[in-house]
């Protein structure tokens, strides 16, 4: 039931529209405009930045206050006390697991880490220099050809099985994309390792010698996975929901999400940070680029500073900064030229009045880019790791969408083309 009513008058229409106003548990009220369609009216909202296209109980963001909650739990508390797979359980089920539920969940994920052996042949169809995201889009979409025993989207158990498979297999596929690009044999998953440890050994291990993961690096990877797990109705999540509204299978929907994430305005942000650091090139050039960033007439922008959603600060960045400092100290690579540029930029952004007044603080992409470089992951793999992390958010929203009555998505438009005209006579 609506808590309030909004009244709308439109010039030329002799009627006052009474529109229901709904109030969620948190956040702004929303006006139900569906009744306008029957009167030949649509609302106009390019980018859907002022439109609630769904109701959801998974994640809440208040960008003005720098708040990010999963199931009501602040991201800072989850990052301190939880791990990625526990957050996966929370996003899927709405509650944190008991110790017994957590163990069962982890064991089930570990039992699904391998991919069908025939899928290895898919990689041979790609050029060795193909972007890893191009490979991932194709391979994840093809999962439906191998796991078609659980594609009934109206069956809750099938949806659960698909979620487990995707959470478990994405690290394996991501590592395979990397191994293929450098010409090394694929490294099989090991079920005796934790989620992040397993990913690192698949990335950097080889059949010739045992790979022993560094606990600090494994912890950092788990933090990156956790902090990128979900971010409400962003472009890729909305893409997954829209694709899912057609009844498409979950693997195809996640592939669509990966494609949307690939864009530099979305998932490519941390890759753009490293590109920017390379462009600056040397600490001696920092002042020049800072002045360019302040010049409204200059097209140069500092990547990894500020955030479209967070108008105050990115709550994930504080956690990522601490993790970044721990990784750099552990590896002893503070003198790496690009990392020295990054640390100097961080200092300037936190002290310079220009950046402080505009709240252009370093965001999660800035710190995660530095960590991934320090770990030894190439920049073209950054977005792949983002996709790996975000898969749980995508499949949770997809499952939530199909857990209740739904409609196929059908946005409207403001038509600005020619009016009806006759085909010219010959």
The pLDDT tens digits of the residues spanning 14-26 come to 888 888 898 999 9
Segments forming the whole domain that contains residue 361: 268-375
425 within a domain of the structure (yes/no): no
Catalytic (active site) residue 307: yes
Q: Tell whether 229 and 296 lie within a shared domain.
A: no
Instruction: List the structure tokens of 125.
Output: 């169809």
Please pick, among 70, 112, 307, 402, the residue that the annotation labels catalytic.
Answer: 307
pLDDT value at residue 280: 92
- The DSSP 8-state label assigned to residue 209 in this structure reads B
Distance between CA atoms of 138 and 269, rounded to whole angstroms? 22
| Mean pLDDT (whole number) for 281-304 | 88
Whole-model pTM? Answer: 0.91
Whether the pLDDT of residue 334 is over 80: the answer is: no
The CATH code of the domain that includes 300 is: 1.10.230.10
pLDDT at 268: 80
Domains held by the chain: number: 3
- Where does the pLDDT of residue 273 fall: very low under 50, low under 70, confident under 90, or very high at 90 and above? confident
Same domain for 107 and 230, yes or no, is yes
- Give the pLDDT of residue 190: 94
Domain match, 234 and 339 both? no
Q: Are residues 347 and 396 in the same domain?
A: no
Arithmetic mean of pLDDT, 178-190: 94
Q: Indicate the pLDDT class of residue 1, thresholds 50, 70 and 90.
A: low
**Strand, helix or coil at 126?**
coil
Name the catalytic one among 197, 365, 397, 402. 365
Least confident of 103-107, 170-174, 367-371: 367-371
Q: What is the arithmetic mean of pLDDT over 35-52?
A: 87
- The pLDDT score that the predictor gives to residue 62 is 92
Determine phi and psi for 97, rounding to 5 degrees: -80, 155
State the average pLDDT for the chain. 91
Q: Indicate whether 312 pLDDT > 80.
A: no
CATH of the domain at 12: 2.20.28.60
Angle at 238 between CA 140 and CA 323, to 5 degrees: 75
pLDDT band at 402 (very low <50, low <70, confident <90, very high): very high
Task: Let me know if residue 351 belongs to a domain.
Answer: yes
Contact 362, 305 (CB under 8 A): yes
Give a yes or no: residue 65 inside a domain: no
CA angle, 269 as apex, 271 and 262 as ends, to 5°?
85
d(CA 397, CA 161): 15
Is 231 annotated in the active site? no
Same domain for 47 and 97, yes or no, is no
**pLDDT the model gives residue 15:** 84
Residues 300 and 362 in one domain: yes
Mean pLDDT of 236-258: 96
pLDDT band at 57 (very low <50, low <70, confident <90, very high): very high
Instruction: Judge whether 165 lies within some domain.
Output: yes
Q: Are residues 81 and 218 in the same domain?
A: yes
């Amino acid at each position: 039931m609506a808590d309030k009513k909004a009244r709308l008058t439109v010039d030329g229409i002799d009627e006052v529209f009474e529109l229901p106003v709904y109030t969620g548990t948190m956040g702004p009220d929303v006006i139900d405009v569906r009744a306008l369609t029957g009167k030949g009216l649509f609302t106009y909202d390019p980018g859907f930045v002022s439109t609630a296209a769904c109701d959801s109980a998974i994640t809440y963001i208040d960008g003005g206050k720098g708040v990010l909650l999963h199931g009501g739990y602040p991201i800072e508390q989850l990052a301190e006390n939880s791990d990625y797979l526990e957050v996966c359980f929370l996003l899927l089920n709405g509650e944190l697991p008991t110790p017994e539920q957590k163990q069962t969940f982890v064991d089930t994920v570990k039992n699904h880490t391998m991919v069908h052996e025939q899928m290895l042949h898919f990689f041979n169809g790609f050029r060795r220099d193909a972007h890893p995201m191009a490979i991932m889009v194709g391979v994840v979409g093809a999962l439906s050809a191998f796991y078609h025993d659980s594609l009934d989207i109206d069956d809750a158990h099938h949806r659960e099985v698909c979620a487990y498979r995707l959470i478990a297999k994405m690290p394996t596929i991501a590592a395979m994309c990397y191994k293929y690009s450098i010409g090394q044999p694929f490294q099989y998953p090991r079920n005796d390792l934790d989620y992040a440890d397993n990913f690192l050994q698949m990335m950097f291990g080889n059949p010739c010698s045992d790979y022993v993961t560094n606990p600090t690096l494994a912890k950092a990877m788990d933090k990156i996975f956790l902090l990128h797990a979900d971010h409400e109705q962003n472009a890729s999540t909305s893409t997954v929901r829209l694709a899912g509204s057609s009844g498409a299978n979950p693997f195809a929907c996640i592939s669509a999400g990966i494609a949307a994430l690939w864009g530099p305005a979305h998932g490519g942000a941390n890759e753009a940070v490293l590109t920017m650091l390379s462009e600056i090139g040397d600490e001696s050039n920092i002042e020049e680029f800072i002045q360019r960033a302040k010049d409204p007439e200059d097209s140069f922008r500092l990547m990894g500073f500020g955030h479209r959603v967070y108008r105050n600060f990115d709550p994930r960045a504080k956690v990522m900064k601490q993790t970044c400092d721990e990784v750099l100290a552990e590896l002893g690579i503070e003198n790496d030229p690009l990392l020295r540029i990054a640390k100097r930029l961080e200092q300037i952004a936190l002290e310079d009045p220009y950046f402080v007044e505009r709240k252009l603080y370093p965001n999660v992409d800035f710190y995660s880019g530095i960590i991934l470089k320090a770990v030894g992951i190439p920049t073209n793999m950054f977005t792949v790791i983002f996709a790996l992390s975000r898969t749980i958010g995508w499949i949770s929203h997809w499952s939530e969408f199909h857990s209740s009555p739904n409609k196929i998505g059908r946005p409207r438009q403001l038509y600005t083309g020619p009016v009806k005209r006759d085909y010219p006579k010959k």
